[in-house]
Amino acid sequence: MAKKKPSKKSDQPELPLDAAATNVVVPATPPAAEPVSESLTVPMESVSLAPTRPKGVKVQDDQAPLALHYRNWFLEYASYVILDRAVPHIDDGLKPVQRRILHTLWEMDDGRFHKVANVVGATMRFHPHGDASIGAALVAIGQRAWLIEPQGNYGNMLTGDEAAAPRYIEARLTNFAKDVLFNPKTTTWQLSYDGRAKEPVTLPAKFPITLLEGAEGIAVGLMTKILPHNFNDLCRAAINHLQGKTFRILPDFATGGTADFSEYNDGERGGKVKVRAKIEVRSKYLLAITELPFGATTESLIESILSANAKGKIKIKHVDDNTADSVEILIHLPAGSDPDKIIQQLYVFTNCQMQLSPAACVIEHDKPQFLGVREILKRSAEKTKDLLKQELDIKLGELEQQWHWDSLERIFIEERIYRNIEKSKTWESVLEEIRSGLKPFIKNLRREVTADDITRLTEIRIKRISAYNRFQADEAMKKIEESMKETKAHLKNLTGYAVAWFEMLQEKYGKGHKRRTAYDEIAQIDASSVVSVNQRLYVNREDGFIGLNWRQHEFVTECTILDSVLTIMEDGSLKVTKVADKVFMGRNIRHIAIWPKDGDQNFYTMVYQDGETGKAFAKKFQIGGLSRDKLYPLAKSENSKIVYLHIAKSEKEMPKKLNVFLDGRSGARVRELEFDMTAVPVSTRTSKGLTVSKWAVKEVKNVD
């Protein structure tokens, strides 16, 4: 078949026919301008070639248009998710969507509440990822109520109830957010995604917001999980750092509970935090959960309790949820229950105890950094100090400028320089007259008089000149000079000023915000020691099934939901598995027992007919270590058959002699023999054993 010429719209070389043997991955939809033909032409960078590429096939990087498009697509996507969606920035502790919401609320702020639907729409000018993500982020911030003051049904963090629709709820910035997050004079700005507006690169946060609010996000190849901390704890820690003292900060959860921070590891990767619900004993048959572990809701907690009860891990009558502003889950117990044991079971088998894995990751200099929470607080405190210095420098500059303008105005009016311009006929002469009139007094000023200063003097209205009051002007100048003196003093003692800033925040906003989470060491509870023996194990030996609560089959023993079962089948196979409603172990179960938690210490005596040689072997063994759900052979070959099995608790109880009865059809002249088992050593389960007879064995009995 003749090859078609490449399209004139593309200078790409045609793929050689001998490349058909290579591993070629072709895009699902070819370009519209390049019709699919029997001789397919594809850009070389858009295909994946096997290591054995035929000679003559050249990879032309610079000429492949799709290669340029896809070369770094994954890296760019990963960077986008990390930097622009999932991970908070260390400067203000906010993700981009949170920052844009707060900036929008600041722009809209007039002291009144705004419909969340309006806020979401306005935020989309800066965040082009749909209203759902904006609304969810706004509600989450509003539920914590530190930065956004909510009004309306914002859902319930305790129960997991969702918020009302955005058109029904309202929001506005809190005073705390206005104090610590916004200052246009110290904000670095950038253009929004469409270039129509300006948005902050980061907000000038003067508080460790990321530690106060907490953060959680999953990006490409990494995740962040920063646990929330107590406001007053953060203030004290920042003050201690600025004063050169050591400090420690531990998470504090709005849901309360008790936490074990012994392995917190400063919030870095690899750390662990155990959190427990607070459970009270109201009566002998009534428990009350009044505080939740962080990450659980009353709905998820009750679901875990009911699930554990259904599986037989705990035994309760029913659960009532009376949660509103505070948590109250009532657990009713059946008669004869031990409340203390039930509490232990709740910690082991339900979400009443959970384990958190913190991983404090933040964006710094456009890169993700894994830091400890103390390091984040230190950098935040130093950043606050720098921002306060910037604000003081700006304030001092504004005061000096105001002092200069007021001084010029005072000279201009008191020395009646404005009268000198009455005869001037041109603008240039007006400016020259003012400049000449100011010359004798320039030495009293702190900087040179500029053309803008002179122009500003010409803009003073006659009404202001006529109403000029020298005493009031002197008082205003004194206030400016006092403010300048105070500002310079703050700049000289910047650390003390920063300390006073955090003290002011704590005094203003810290009242009523005590720690809700108690911290204590939580001992590990052995599940096997608290689980109830409330299950009944049954077996169907012929079909090879075991299960719980099969009343129509053979009863084995009482057990717990955590127990494992050991079975030995007639073909010499052995298996251990966890108890369940129904499990297949193997046909013709010869022996079944609960597998001891500390390992099987029993001594086994077994006589089996080998499937390959037909000989009968006797062996004594201990089982040793096993893995669940793995089939172990006790005989050396397939199609073997156990004819005798004895289990003893000690070696002394093992049989000494056995009577072996041979099959009458085997051709053996002696049909009955006595076998001395003392000659058989106790070995492992994989041992072959000693030969009893080369003939088929019909029955084996213990002589003892």
Does residue 265 lie in a domain region?
Answer: no
Tell me the average pLDDT across 612-634: 90
CA nearest to 629, candidates 563, 555, 566: 566
CA angle, 684 then 686 then 688, to 5° = 100
Please give the structure tokens belonging to residue 170.
Answer: 């309202």
Catalytic residue among 77, 80, 168, 193: 168
Q: How confident is the model at residue 135 (pLDDT cuts 50, 70, 90)?
A: very high
- Of the chain, the percentage scoring pLDDT greater than 70 comes to 88
Does residue 170 have a pLDDT over 90? yes
Task: Output 102-106 pairs: Cβ under 8 A, ≥24 positions apart.
Answer: 102/141, 102/147, 102/148, 102/173, 102/177, 102/181, 102/203, 103/199, 103/200, 103/203, 105/148, 105/171, 105/172, 105/173, 106/173, 106/178, 106/181, 106/182
In a domain, 262, yes or no: no
Domain presence at residue 160: yes
User: Residue 437 above 50 pLDDT?
Assistant: yes
Higher local confidence (pLDDT), 68 or 493 = 493
Is the same domain home to 104 and 206?
Answer: yes
Statement: residue 129 has pLDDT above 50: yes
| Dist CA 520 CA 275 (whole Å) | 10
| pLDDT over threshold 70, residue 14 | no
pLDDT number for residue 228: 95
Alpha-carbon distances of 193 from 76, 125, 201, 382, 523, rounded to whole Å: 17, 8, 12, 31, 52
Which position has the token pair 């844009």? 100
**Which pLDDT score is estimated for 531?**
79
Q: 442: which 2 tokens?
A: 């320039």
pLDDT of amino acid 40 = 33
514, part of any domain: no
Longest Cα–Cα distance in the chain: 153
Residue 69: the pLDDT is 62
> Looking at per-residue confidence, does 605 or 463 come out higher?
605
Contact present, 29 and 15 (Cβ < 8 Å): no
Q: What is the pLDDT of residues 501-542, one digit of tens each?
A: 999 999 999 999 999 999 887 777 767 677 777 788 999 999
Q: Whats the size of the chain, residue-wise? A: 704
C-beta separation of 155 from 143 below 8 A: yes
Cα 542 to Cα 592: distance, rounded to the nearest angstrom: 13
Residue pLDDT, tens place only, 644-691: 999 999 988 899 999 999 887 777 777 888 898 988 999 998 899 999
The larger pLDDT score, comparing residue 19 to residue 635, is at: 635
Pick from 180, 215, 237: which residue ends a domain?
237
Higher pLDDT, 494 or 413: 494
> Residue 466: which CATH number?
1.10.268
In a domain, 261, yes or no: no
* Domain around 699: 604-625+634-704
Question: At 541, is the secondary structure helix, strand, or coil?
Answer: coil
Residue 38: pLDDT above 50?
no
What is the structure's pLDDT at 64?
60
Mean pLDDT of 164-189: 95
Say if 517 falls within a structural domain: no
C-alpha dihedral (262, 267, 273, 279), degrees to nearest 10: 100
Check if 644 is active-site: no
- Whether residues 391 and 466 share a domain: the answer is yes
Together in a domain, 99 and 39: no
Domain boundary pick from 461, 494, 509: 509
Cα–Cα dist 666/469, whole Å: 135
Least confident of 13-27, 376-390, 554-568: 13-27
Q: Are residues 488 and 403 in the same domain?
A: yes
Task: Yes or no: say if 314 and 308 are a contact pair by the CB < 8 Å rule.
Answer: yes
Distance, CA of 670 to CA of 650 (rounded, Å): 33
Question: What is the reported pLDDT for 418?
Answer: 85
pLDDT over 90 at 421, yes or no: no
Q: Work out the pLDDT band at 66, boundaries 50, 70, 90.
A: low
Q: Looking at 105-109, 207-211, 386-390, 610-614, which range is the least confident one? A: 610-614
Q: What is the pLDDT of residue 420?
A: 84
CATH (domain of 94) = 3.90.199.10
pLDDT of residue 468: 83
194 located within any domain: yes
Same domain, 204 and 103: yes
Q: Are 102 and 147 in contact (CB under 8 A)?
A: yes
Mean pLDDT for 190-203 is 93
- Helical packing angle, 131-144 and 116-123, nearest 10°: 130
pLDDT value for 44: 35
Question: Do residues 243 and 221 make contact, with C-beta atoms less than 8 angstroms apart?
Answer: no
Q: Within this chain, do residues 218 and 101 fall inside the same structural domain, yes or no? A: yes
Phi/psi for 696 (5° steps) reads -70, 135
C-alpha–C-alpha distance, residues 635 and 610, integer Å: 7
Reported as a pLDDT band with limits 50, 70 and 90, residue 325 is: confident
Indicate whether 387 and 475 sit together in one domain: yes
Residues 493 and 413 grouped into a single domain: yes
The arithmetic mean of pLDDT across residues 75-85, rounded, is 68
Same domain? For 100 and 220 the reply is yes
The residue-averaged pLDDT of 104-108 equals 96
Pick the last residue of a domain from 71, 105, 121.
Answer: 71
Q: Are residues 470 and 502 in the same domain?
A: yes
Confidence of residue 28 (pLDDT cuts 50, 70, 90): very low
Residue 120's pLDDT band, with cuts at 50, 70 and 90, is very high
pLDDT for 34 equals: 38
At 599, is the pLDDT very low, low, confident or very high (cuts 50, 70, 90)? confident
Which residue type occupies 447?
Answer: R
50 neighbors 72 (Cβ within 8 angstroms): no
Residue 521 lies in a domain: no
State whether 158 and 36 are in the same domain.
no
Q: What is the pTM of this model?
A: 0.76
Number of domains in the chain: 6
Which helix (H) or strand (E) covers residue 148, if one does? strand 148-151
Judgement on whether residues 326 and 215 belong to the same structural domain of the protein = no
Mean pLDDT, all residues of the chain: 86
Task: Specify whether the CB–CB gap between 662 and 696 falls below 8 A.
Answer: yes
- Per-residue pLDDT at 144 exceeds 80: yes
Q: Is-contact 579 629, C-beta < 8 A?
A: no
**3-class SS letters over 186-231:** HCEEEECCCCCCEEEEECCCCCCHHHHHCEEEECCCCEEEECCECH
